[in-house]
Chain A
Amino acid sequence: MPRDLKIALGILTVAVAVGLISLRGLHRRMQGLAESQSSDEKARREVLAPEISTPSDVPQGTKIYWAAGEDRVTATTVELALSADPVQRGKQVLQALIANTPTAEQRTVPADAELLAFYILSDGTAIADFSDALSSETPSGVESEQLVVDSIARTLENNVPTPRRLKILIHGQEAETLAGHVDLTGFFDLNPPNAAPQAPAPSSAAPTPSAPSSVPAPPKTLAPGGVPKPRR
Chain B
Amino acid sequence: MHIGPVVVIDPGHGGTDTGARGTNGLVEKDVVLQVGKILRAELERMGYRVVMTRGDDSNPSYEDRAALANAYRDAIFVSLHVSSTGATGNTRAYFYQFPVPFQATDTSLLSNVVKQGSGTAIPWEEAQRPFAEQSRRLANLVQIELMHRFSQSPNAPTPAAVRNLRSVAAPAVAVEISSVSVSDPIALTSLSGLFAASIARGIAAFRPMPAPVPGLP
Contact = CB atoms under 8 A, between A and B. Distances in A.
Interface string A138-181: 01111110100100000000000000010000000000110011
Interface residues of B, number: 65
A165 B99 CA distance: 11
Contacts, number: 171
A95 interface: no
Contacts of B100: 165, 189, 201
12 contacts: A183-B161, A199-B161, A202-B125, A204-B109, A205-B105, A205-B106, A216-B125, A220-B113, A222-B113, A226-B114, A228-B114, A232-B64
B124 A219 contact: yes
B68 interface: yes
Interface stretch (B77-85, B140-148, B183-191, B208-216): B77-85
Contact of B20 (A149, A165, A180): A180
Interface of B: 12-13, 17, 19-21, 28, 62-64, 67-68, 70-73, 81-87, 90, 92, 94, 96-100, 102-106, 108-109, 111-117, 119, 123-126, 154, 158-164, 166-167, 169, 174, 176, 178-179
A32 to B, nearest CB: 19
A25 to B, nearest CB: 22
A51 to B, nearest CB: 31
Per DSSP, are chain A's interface residues mostly helix, strand or loop, or mixed? loop
B81 A181 contact: yes
Residue of A139, A182, A217, A232 contacting most chain B CB atoms (<10 Å): A217
A217 B159 contact: no
Interface residues of A, number: 48
A48 interface: no
